[in-house]
């Protein structure tokens, strides 16, 4: 009986909790001298998984200094997005490679 009550409380709490979305992981591939598959929208707290599939060293460098991920060919790196707003980034070795993350919340 006590077990059922406990279960009921937990279930009620779960149902009543505000629908806070769990952080997501977005993969951005660096390939053919481009940032491929930049997500249309990102939420604060989400993770970006950078994946360098080129044979060249690349970076993902935020123009505002929020992150700087330097990746050897074939390497992967993670960035957790801390602030909302538009976050422009480039590869500091290949300035033609660029993108913008639109971070909400």
Determine, following the binding rule CB under 8 A, whether residue 95 of this chain makes contact with another protein: yes
Question: Contact region for another protein (CB under 8 A) — 3-11, 14-22, 50-58, 75-83?
Answer: 50-58
Contacts with another protein by CB under 8 A: the residue count is: 14
How far apart are alpha carbons 45 and 67 in whole angstroms? 14
Question: Contact region for another protein (CB under 8 A) — 17-25, 35-43, 79-87, 92-100?
Answer: 92-100
- SS3 label, residue 16: helix
Nearest alpha carbon to residue 34 among 13, 14, 52: 52
CB 26 within 8 A of CB 35: no
Determine whether 2 is exposed, middle or buried from the number of CB atoms within 10 Å of its CB (0-12, 13-18, 19+).
Answer: exposed
Determine, following the binding rule CB under 8 A, whether residue 65 of this chain makes contact with another protein: no
How far apart are alpha carbons 40 and 49 in whole angstroms? 15
Between residues 46 and 54, which has the closer beta carbon with respect to another protein? 54
Determine, following the binding rule CB under 8 A, whether residue 97 of this chain makes contact with another protein: yes
Determine, following the binding rule CB under 8 A, whether residue 85 of this chain makes contact with another protein: no
Between residues 24 and 102, which has the closer beta carbon with respect to another protein? 102
- For another protein, the binding residue among 30, 48, 69, 90 (CB under 8 A) is 90
């Amino acid at each position: 009986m006590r077990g059922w009550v406990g279960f009921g409380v937990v279930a009620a709490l779960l149902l009543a909790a505000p629908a806070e979305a769990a952080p997501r992981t977005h993969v951005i591939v660096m390939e053919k001298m481009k940032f491929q598959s930049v997500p249309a929208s990102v939420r604060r707290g989400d993770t970006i998984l950078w994946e360098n599939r080129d044979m060249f060293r690349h970076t993902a460098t935020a123009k505002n200094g929020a992150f700087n991920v330097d990746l050897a060919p074939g390497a992967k790196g993670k960035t957790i997005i801390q602030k909302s707003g538009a976050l422009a980034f480039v590869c500091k070795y290949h300035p033609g490679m660029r993108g913008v993350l639109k971070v909400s919340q």
